[in-house]
Structure 1
Amino acid sequence: MLSLKNIEQERLKSVRSYRLIHDSAKQDFNKLARIAAILCNVPVVLISLMEECEQLFISHYGIDLDAVPREETFCEVLLQDHSEPLIVTDALLDDRFVNNKYVTGYPHIRFYAGFPLINDENHVLGTLCVVDHKPRNLSNEQVEGLHCLVNQILQIFELQKKSNDLKISRKLFKEKSERFENIIEASNIGTWEWNLETGHVYYNEKTAAILGYSLDELQPATKDTFLSRMHENDRINCEKQLSDYFDGAINYFTCEYRIRHKNGNWVWILDRGKAVAWDQKGQPLLMFGTHTDVTLRKVASMRLVNSNKRLKIAQKIAKLGYYEINKLKNTAFWSDQIYEIWEVDNPDEKFDIDDLTAMIHPEDVIMVKNKIFEEGIDVNTTFEFRIVINKHKIKWVRGSKMLSTNDTNRIEGTFQDITSYKKLEVSLVESERRYSNLFQMMPIPSWVYDLNTLKIIEVNKAALKDYGYSREEFLNLTLKDLRPVEEINKLMEVIAHTKNNVKSYKIGGYLHKRKNGSIFNVEVHSNRLYRDNALYRVVMAVNISETQKYIEEIENQNSTLQEIARIQSHVVRAPLAKIMGIVELVNANVNLTAEENRIFLNEILNSATEFDQIVRSIADNIAQLKNN
């Protein structure tokens, strides 16, 4: 038995199904309200729906009210007991309503008669109410007439509900049809309908388009006309699949075959179908299905055969082999390239898992076995190890493993000979180490910064000594921190120009600031350094404060010495230009041999030494001049 709460929820659900009232229906309700007013000779008539929180008036004759709270209405009593109409001859004499706001105030109700609107599900939808401002009663004829009007109101409700339900059904049908059409369109498939009694076949436009025809050009459409366009090598199989389906051997008709396109080419079709009507003898009467153009897939499948041949060639070039291991059966498949990596002379001889692992370097055997065979290792993993050929030749191999999530006993993967890469890697690491050492050994203060953020990312010992910072402090600086305030604008102008000319080797004279705040003159040489997809600049900052001071003194003493000073300033730049040129070669990512790397490193070191000697020579010459 339903609780009162559940009963009310069911009633509200029923009320909501009648909520959509058209203007034409409202006019009908207004007419019925006026008839009720005339029949009972009352000034006010209300037709309402009892909502969850309010009484909604769908017609209000003689009063200006659209809705009132449910707890303030007379009709709330009818929801508790609707077996009879609620008739109140004088509200001032009725304890239930004597203090009601609509009795003591507007519209001053004295007489009230409410007739419940009860639908076929025995739910009270609302009421038909007649109201007067004075005490009175209704005659039997008036009560009978109001019951008739209640039936009329309910009929309008039902007609309106059926009309709304029909519109909703039409809308849903339209949406469903459009959805089906969109699915057909998005799936790029054709449809067909086969009437087996008449033999006629009906296609949609997509099926015709797949074959290059219009629908009219495919008429008359029968099974025989369709088979006549089918490749002769595919007809027997198609007929067999259809027969097996009609005999119940398979649940659906499915077949792939070739159909002649209008342009003469062959189109591969995937045909699926199912009978939807059968006669009393179990013979099919009506069948529906789809046509899908699978030509691209078929062509791709054929190309795959050729691709496998090319793949073997590519694997040979990349020194990449494929393996497949069944741990349960302890069997393995090796591609030809694996035999070449392990240098097995005769692949036809026995070469199993034990033979392969026996040639792995003793220090790597446990790691490799764990990576490939242990359950706890990731489903997909890569690893590197060494193999030993003929007890002395070492090869580096990169292995990969992919463990099937459906069958953990089946392992697939690759082995690739990376010996040459490893040698190159060792050479690069060594080269990188030499470059780093040389950078730190240079007597010229140098650093590397990020052109976008201006943050310093590397610094040498000479810069730490000259500028007075620790390494940690220097790497927390930007270029702005090395300039006095009055030089910041000039710095940003140079940075903007550099971003537009990142390839340029730049030289310029600037003021720099040490940690202790002292200011000095520098000649800055910079060039690009492109690494790790970021744009950096390498900088060499030559302290020219003393040199510039001496040169100015010399220039003031003798015009002949001015020429010497000019020549010396150019001589200073020569070794720096050579170093920046070598940096440019490094940026070009040229594959250099170990010997070439050694030559370039020596050139950088010689240039740095040459620069140091030139600076010392200038200082000595100037000192001698001053003494003279």
Structure 2
Amino acid sequence: MNGSNILDTNRLETLMSYDIMDTHPEVIYDEITSLAASICDTPTSLISLVDDKRQFFKSHHGLDTTGTPIKDSFCKHIISEDIDLLIVEDTHKDNRFSNNSLVIGDPNVGFYAGASLTAENGSRLGTLCVIDYAPRKLNELQIKSLRTLAKQVVHLLDLRKSKKIEEDQKIDLEQKGKLLDNIVNATGIGIWERNLINDSLTLNEQALEIYGLNKTTLSEFKTETWFSLIHKDDLAEVEKKMFDCLNYPSDGCNVQYRMLQEGGNYKWIQDKGKVLQWSEDKKPQLMYGTVQDITEKKNYTTELHRVKNNQEAMINSTKDLMWSVDLNFRLITANTAYHELVTKIQGEPFKEGELVFSDHVPIQVTKKWKAYYNKTLTSGAFSVKQKIQDPKKFWTTYGLTSFDLLYNKEGEKIGITCFSKDITSEVLSQQVLIGAKEELQKIMDTSLDIICTLDEDGYFLSVNKACTQIWGYEPKDIIGTQYLELVYDEDIKLTEDSAESVLSGKKVVNFENRYKHKNGAIVPMLWSSNWDKKDRVYYCIARDNTEKKKAELLLKNSERRFKTLVQESSDIISILDLEAIFTYVSPSVMKVLGAAPEMYTGTNAFDYIHVDDLERVKERFNSIIHSESVEIEPFRFKDINGEWKWFENIITNQLNEPSINGVVVTTRDITEKRKAEEKLENSERRYKTLVQEGSDMICIVNEKAVFSYASPTSAKILNITPEEFVGNSAFDRVHPDDYDMVYNEFLKVLEIPQVTIKPFRYKHGSGHWIWLETVITNKLDEPTISGIVVNSKDVTTKVLHLNAIEEQNAQLKKIAWTQSHIVRAPVARLMGLINLLTDDKGKLNVEEKEQVLNYIFTSADEIDTVIKDIVENTINVIDIEENK
């Protein structure tokens, strides 16, 4: 097998291609080691990746270390011995490991079982292993599960690698100008386990999120439920692949489908699974697999097609010719203009893969184009200008064709790109410029700027008439004068330095100094000059800079005021183009979002907006084309820490303003205001729920006990609507026997903050009396209430129960008192008769003793009858109370 050597270059390159070494722990891998340890009933499980020097533990369940040197590695033997599975039931009896530092020292490994992590190209990357600290054995199911989980680890590594490849492709596409606005990052992976015997499902946290489920509803989630949430257009394919997977033997299933979410939207899901356990009659019992949210990936593919179509539309809309050929000069692709020209020449276009030479053109033309292609392959990019004369027409045209090499992603040469443009108008323009030189002198004399020449010593050789207007001198007064005589004294040194710079061969543009007007005034000047080495002459153009200086001063003051306003403002001022790309962001962004303005310049504003607000914000932003100003309702925007801030925006159309050429956006952070509003809203919602759904009735009365408010619960408690209470006195329905007590307690609340009124009777809407327990609180000074808050609870059942108990106790006391007197008389007689017998001492004869005994028996029977009556009466009292 490939890569079975620890130092094998291909194996190490394959391992490095996953970019997994020394990465942080990830839940998905920790869940696999936890599952492996649980299945194999071991305290430790590791995902071990082996390079040429050490083994790195991507996940280390039950072991507090992230790796060991390769000399101590058990896992390296799977690679060096080129085996898929290594089981060491007793490390102390295996010569390979008996002296290993991990066996004879901490952590004292006694058992090891590892399954190879084998890449698609056959390279062994490491192992998924389980470890125990005492010798042991694994059964077949545990071994099979360990192998399956090892394959799952490789699958996860491949998915992780695919995600990195997608990100690299995104960067590559952006560098080549493919104008791809959104490339969706690969999403997280969920793990599921389905028990087919009882149709139950186990999901990790990521799988719960991807499916849109929660742990509460998971117990009720059956296969039929799952099928009912799949999009009807995908259901047939899912059912087919699912049932094929459940038929023995099965390699598993891989299916993509849309699944209904709680909000009514569909999410694209990729499901991969395999049956891990079959019954003896080949019926599936246990499945295991992964699930991935590929919604963004699906959307990205759609967007990629859209961008590609747009690019093709732009390429095909130009009249310039664009085509590319391979190294054998066969057509790779071409735009519409190229195909139309070829069709015009030979009656039909070239097909892709055909040689781009036509029998309908002279052989000399074909040789010339072959020479161009060969020159590109040997020398690289170049351009050629051609003059074309059509004998059937009476004019000449000119073309410019550019050739360049075409490379693949690996930098290999794969062909030639060609671009041909009609430059007739440009050539004719150059010819017009030649004729324009003849008019130059006339223009000089009519120019408002000074146009002059000076010799190398600085004396004026020529000057146009503009000097009269700007300096007050006639041209004849200037010619022959040394220019420094006119320069303002403080600027002479600066002007001399500039002249030396021009003399050295540098062209000076927009050099500023001051000249002295004939009347003594100072005139700011703006110079551009060039030294002609051949003619030994300075050629200069000078402009009166007075108005510009004034404008600059005004602009400087204006900019200073603007800068102060922008930098010190708590609002963010930004400029965006119509694609929402930032071209300017004010420094206040640092205070609001914690990032420098440069971080946002060149990025798309939509990339920072919450997905739930994105479409709404885009719609409002795009409407600015037809408006002068647009206000965007509050939305969420991500700051430097990844937290969401609430913004409100006003955007102003300044596309036609040359100094701005964009959309000006004024952004205000309303996060705290939003939080306060949400807090108030939640508070009001809680209050409303407590008041409307509670078991108590809450009312507000004035100091005369007249209702101004009653909660909706009044209808449940008293069968009286809140509207019936408002404007009426609270004492109208108090029982006459309780009126004085309630009234006196009510008066107390005018003096103290709160009073509890013991239960009293209040008339129900149906006419009967119920018992209320009430707490009244003085809130007359609270502006939002301005009254007395009354909280009342129906305690009728409680009061009746307490009254019944008191009545029962009274009955029992009465029975006890009455019966105790009845019992006392026979007991006294009985005691006297017993004392008579005790003190007899031979005084009574036999007949008298028999008579005393009969009296004793009679008294005992009487006591027994009384006791039975007491018990029966007591039971009757209790029965009566229970029947109540």
- Which band: TM-score by shorter chain? 0.3 to 0.5
| TM-score normalised by length of structure 1 | 0.39
| TM-score normalised by length of structure 2 | 0.29
Q: Whose RCO is larger (CA < 8 A, sep 6+)?
A: 1
